[in-house]
Amino acid sequence: MNVVVIGSGVMGPGIAQVFLMGGHHVIMSDIKVEALAEGTKEIRNSLTLMVSKGITDQDVITLMSNFQTMTSLEEAVKDADLVIEAIPEVISIKQKVYEDLDRFCPKETVIVSNTSALPLPEIFPHFRPGNFFVAHFMNPPQIIPLVEIVKNDKTNPEKVAWLREELEKCGKKPIVINQFIKGFLTNRMQTAMAREALYLYEKGIVSLEDLDTANTACIGFKSAWQGTFETMDYIGLDTCAFAYNVIFPDLCNDTAVPAVITQKVKEGKLGLKSGEGFFSYPEDSEEVSMQRQAGLLEQLKLFNSYINK
């Protein structure tokens, strides 16, 4: 299969790597040569790390031989079976790219967007109806198994089934969301949890460090192997009903962004990208990211061994 990834920014290289490891020919396209060079370096480094961690025994040189970069979108997509758009969330930029894709892509090409929030098939209803929908990868996409496929009433169900199967062949765990909803699934669930954590922190009930420990040492520890509904079954639905009756009315239901977030944004404390957010980070953000990837790869090994039993 010929796969084209448009955009060599935060997500593009990782998405390209997913399909490379799945045995496909992949082209990554971007208007900036420097971005393509940096993206290529990211892919090579990530593949090398995966080999060293025992995630894959595929040969990096062989995999990279199936990879190309191009600044010409027309040349990149002329034989594409699948195009993944991973460019900035700016409607005017996306519109221009979609206009070009409509001119350059074969009629049967499936085109998906990696948008994390926008209802693009509704915004562009006349762009490849049926063959254009959302496939939202998680960061880092080459490691996190989940992909959210978001369809609507116009989406061709055969194309959704086809993409789901292809993603599974690449080692992903795709899910299908049957209609657009703001934030899709995982972002909604993560945002709900973050809102409560921010509320508890602002109230002085618990420290940042202890909040994160509660997540990694309990909630995240269990949810790596057991989903929300399975957890409720294990607890007992009668127990859940009793506890929720007590807790639900007391949960935070604010709709504004918490002041602690807006203040830090005003101060330029944006997190890893600026060296400080809620916590401070060393100057070498690339090293921090690689350490995070190494930890996630260890988790991926455990996850794969669990689901393949």
Active site members: 116, 136, 148, 187
CB 155 within 8 A of CB 87: no
Q: How far apart are CA 132 and CA 127, in angstroms?
A: 7
Specify binding-site residues for NAD(+). Answer: 7-12, 30, 89, 94, 116, 139, 273
- Classify strands 146-150 and 132-137 as parallel, antiparallel or unpaired: antiparallel
3-state SS assignment for residue 24: coil
Specify binding-site residues for CoA. Answer: 46, 53, 116
Written as one letter, the residue type at 293 is: Q
Specify binding-site residues. Answer: 7-12, 30, 46, 53, 89, 94, 116, 139, 273
Q: How far apart are CA 129 and CA 152, in angstroms?
A: 10
Residue 155 is encoded by which pair of tokens?
Answer: 């989406």
Read off the DSSP letter of residue 180: -
DSSP for 184-232, written as a single string: TTHHHHHHHHHHHHHHHHHTTSS-HHHHHHHIIIIIHHHHTTS-HHHHH
